Structure 1
Amino acid sequence: MRWLKIMLLSMTTAMAAHGSVTKTPFGTTPDGTAVDLYTLKSEGIEASIMTFGARVVSIKTPDRDGKIADVVLGYSALDGYLADKSTYFGAIVGRYGNRIAFGKFSLDGNQYQIPTNNGANSLHGGTVGFDRLVWKGRAIADGVEMTLVSKDGDQGYPGTLTVHVRYTVHHGALRIDYSSSTDKDTVLNLTNHSYFNLSGDPKKTILDEQIMIPADQYTPVNPVQIPTGELASVEGTPFDFRKSTVIGARINEDNEQLKIGGGYDHNWVLRGKNGEVKTAARVYDPASGRVLTVTTTEPGVQFYTGNSLNGAAYGSAQQSNAKNTALCLETQHFPDSPNHPSFPTTELKPGEVLHSTTTFTFSTQTK
């Protein structure tokens, strides 16, 4: 009997270490496509991912006192996500995350036009990006794999693209592994668009949270938020977060770049080589003690302070979020890279498999 107890205890411990994955229905889209929700549990974290947009719906973690709360913005039902076509809450955005000037780029001597849905520019893949599609989910060890096939010509992009995105949890961390291949030369820039509020209270702003971004340069933008092509030093500017700084400390300074974005909405050039794991950011909420550390193999990170959140209500629950109540850390290649040859390339060719990894690790610290 004693050996049976020991065996059961060992099995329980192993299950806790490896985590659990459960799948439940999460409604249907207007065309009748079923949407599933996968809930991933491991020590110190519970994350829910749905097949509509391969979105992060919730991330629950403890504060310094052990109180569990959801630290990302989202909706309690699918209809909120269906109605909200502007925030991209929790979604995998693509085929090209961020902006492409005038929705135009050249590749192999051919000119391509993609939909413009952000003034004169294209944002996050176009009018029907990856965030608006239902992905195919498959439970895997410690997580879920989401798969999407984007046909040649989808939103004007060349090549049939196959994308696999794996979400896994382990010891307080949510890891995202991207893997993509194509049958024709194309451009690609995938990222996750989760909105974080480490207080766990979506009514509080993130302006009192502190952030560190280990980057010596950022990419300034023109008045319509397209990079100028310059890699500008952060030295002596409100964009210097090389030391942990209160987010709201300089957000309202008389700075042209801050005025363009209505706050922070820029790409930072991360230290280290593209493809190597590096720290993208560290966020600390003094009130709750929660800490978020982001690592990535990508060359850049878009730090966005929720400037366009305006209290608009979505879905049957009429849930809304106000300005600056969350921040995004979108690990990425640089915006408009296809039109800036000096930026790290976003081209993907047949026979290649493009891999990238981003990990969001949650912890706590004392006051």
Structure 2
Amino acid sequence: MSATAFGVTKEGLPVTRYTLESRSGITVGVLDRGAIIQSILVPCPDGPVDVVAGFDDISGYEACDAYLGALVGRHANRLGGAFIEIDGKRWPVTANEGAKQLHGGLHGFDQKMFAAEQPAPNCLVLRCVSPDGEEGFPGEVTLQATYTLSDEGALSLDYQATSTRDTVINLTNHSYFNLNGGGSVLQHRLWLAASRFTPIDADALPTGEIRDVAGTPFDFCTAKQIGADLDACDEQLALGHGYDHNFVLDKASGELATVAELCGDQTGIRMRCVTTCPGLQLYTANFLQSPPLVKGEKTIAPREAVCLETQYFPNSMNCPAFEKPIVRAGGLYHERTIYEFIK
């Protein structure tokens, strides 16, 4: 594993890029700011293909609010009403998307500097602390994120966190994938092990309903192109401006299972997603504004990337039927997601 300078933050803090390299030729670049996955290079006959969107220096990430590649939390996705409630006690949290919170507020883990160390080859451990009361959340949370790249090219993201008080923790990685290296992802083929999803309201918040995907544009139980039904006349697609929905994964809670497979139509690169999490957010980059200049002097526009964000369900604190990501004082949050790349 190598380490190189990646610029300086607005606060004057130096950022380092760590590179993991597998024997299969896959390389992964990770930043110690936001625990960001900055690049994933997959070897192809015409040269390596970078399958995640990102920037060439830290200033690009600071100027963009799309969470490209970042570790997101304390609570990934949306919290309606911008509050959490545990055992009848309510804490208001920072509202940063209208009256709700998105991805942990204004200063979530995506904004933090992490302490990095390499305990073994192709293994990077990133650590940080979120103080008690940060963004309104109770408890001092100590987070350890371990990124491991196998010889075969599987990238494992292992999240462990503890809190000094009862709190909520719901973490995800927010990488924007394009297995062609650029252009539209609507011809990518996607399979999801999810026979149900959670419909949203006009504020993009799950309503608490769990609905079957059968007969709807949300049915990916058999692989199909992402764009196959994207323009269908469907209220949910209209509310999300495309896919921006949580899928209920067909597996036992806590079970590590394969839940998705994405295939690039031009490169043939396949990516499998394996996770312990109960849900997965499918997002077709609908809200990218003023297409930002990204790596290699390219731009990225809506529907030119897709996110597969493993998670607890959004708005779960307001939905009685949803499993709550509550972590008790002294207890352990531990979830794992693996992205396997096959060529």
Same fold (TM over 0.5): yes
Match of 2:149 in 1: 169
Q: How does 1:318-357 map to 2 (within 5 A)?
A: 320-357=299-336
Match of 2:42 in 1: 61
**Equivalent of 1:186, from 167, 173, 181?**
167
C-alpha separation between the residues in 2 aligned to 1:257 and 1:315?
Answer: 30
Match of 2:4 in 1: 24
The normalised TM-score by structure 2 is 0.96
For residues 42-88 of structure 1, the C-alpha deviation after alignment (integer angstroms, 9 at most, x for no partner) is 1231000001111000000023x36311100000111101111x210
Question: What is the DSSP-based 3-state SS (H/G/I as helix, E as strand, rest coil) of the residue aligned with 2:239?
Answer: helix
Question: What is the DSSP-based 3-state SS (H/G/I as helix, E as strand, rest coil) of the residue aligned with 1:258?
Answer: helix
**Equivalent of 1:138, from 112, 117, 122?**
117
**Equivalent of 2:231, from 231, 252, 255?**
252
Are 1:267 and 1:303, in contact at CA under 8 Å, matched by a contact in 2? yes
**Equivalent of 2:77, from 98, 108, 115?**
98
C-alpha separation between the residues in 2 aligned to 1:338 and 1:298?
Answer: 16
Name the amino acid aligned to 1:358.
T
Post-superposition offset of 1:309: 1.9
Are 2:165 and 2:330, in contact at CA under 8 Å, matched by a contact in 1? no
The verdict on how the C-alpha distance between 1:29 and 1:361 changes in structure 2, with shifts beyond 3 A counting, is same
Post-superposition offset of 1:339: 1.8
Post-superposition offset of 1:104: 1.4
Name the amino acid aligned to 2:190.
I
Match of 1:150 in 2: 130
Q: How does 1:195-344 map to 2 (within 5 A)?
A: 195-200=176-181, 202=182, 204-313=183-292, 320-344=299-323
C-alpha separation between the residues in 2 aligned to 1:284 and 1:314?
Answer: 25
Are 1:77 and 1:315, in contact at CA under 8 Å, matched by a contact in 2? no
Question: What is the DSSP-based 3-state SS (H/G/I as helix, E as strand, rest coil) of the residue aligned with 1:59?
Answer: strand
Structure 1 stretches of 4+ with a deviation exceeding 4 A read: 314-319
For residues 281-335 of structure 1, the C-alpha deviation after alignment (integer angstroms, 9 at most, x for no partner) is 1011121110000000000100111111234335899763111110000000000
**Equivalent of 1:109, from 88, 97, 105?**
88
Are 1:311 and 1:320, in contact at CA under 8 Å, matched by a contact in 2? no
Name the amino acid aligned to 1:196.
F
C-alpha separation between the residues in 2 aligned to 1:248 and 1:35?
Answer: 37
For residues 197-241 of structure 1, the C-alpha deviation after alignment (integer angstroms, 9 at most, x for no partner) is 0001x2x11001100001110000111111110110001000000
Are 1:40 and 1:169, in contact at CA under 8 Å, matched by a contact in 2? yes
Post-superposition offset of 1:114: 1.1
2:98 corresponds to 1:124: no
Are 1:75 and 1:319, in contact at CA under 8 Å, matched by a contact in 2? no
Are 2:55 and 2:61, in contact at CA under 8 Å, matched by a contact in 1? yes
The verdict on how the C-alpha distance between 1:135 and 1:344 changes in structure 2, with shifts beyond 3 A counting, is same
* Greater alpha carbon shift after TM alignment, 313-322 vs 254-263: 313-322
Name the amino acid aligned to 1:92.
L
**Structure having the larger proportion of residues in helix:** 1
Structure number with greater Rg is 1
Identity of aligned residues (%): 39
Question: What is the DSSP-based 3-state SS (H/G/I as helix, E as strand, rest coil) of the residue aligned with 1:102?
Answer: helix
C-alpha separation between the residues in 1 aligned to 2:275 and 2:334?
Answer: 11
Once superposed, what is the RMSD of the aligned Cα atoms? Answer: 1.5
C-alpha separation between the residues in 2 aligned to 1:270 and 1:210?
Answer: 18
C-alpha separation between the residues in 1 aligned to 2:155 and 2:287?
Answer: 26
State the aligned residue count: 340
Are 2:170 and 2:325, in contact at CA under 8 Å, matched by a contact in 1? yes
Are 1:311 and 1:323, in contact at CA under 8 Å, matched by a contact in 2? no
2:56 corresponds to 1:76: yes
C-alpha separation between the residues in 2 aligned to 1:280 and 1:76?
Answer: 31
C-alpha separation between the residues in 1 aligned to 2:305 and 2:79?
Answer: 25
Are 1:179 and 1:353, in contact at CA under 8 Å, matched by a contact in 2? yes
For residues 88-113 of structure 1, the C-alpha deviation after alignment (integer angstroms, 9 at most, x for no partner) is 00000000000000211212322111
Are 2:293 and 2:300, in contact at CA under 8 Å, matched by a contact in 1? no
Are 2:114 and 2:126, in contact at CA under 8 Å, matched by a contact in 1? yes
The normalised TM-score by structure 1 is 0.90
C-alpha separation between the residues in 1 aligned to 2:264 and 2:172?
Answer: 24
The verdict on how the C-alpha distance between 1:83 and 1:319 changes in structure 2, with shifts beyond 3 A counting, is farther
Question: What is the DSSP-based 3-state SS (H/G/I as helix, E as strand, rest coil) of the residue aligned with 2:317?
Answer: helix
Unmatched 5+ stretches in structure 2: none
Are 2:208 and 2:320, in contact at CA under 8 Å, matched by a contact in 1? no
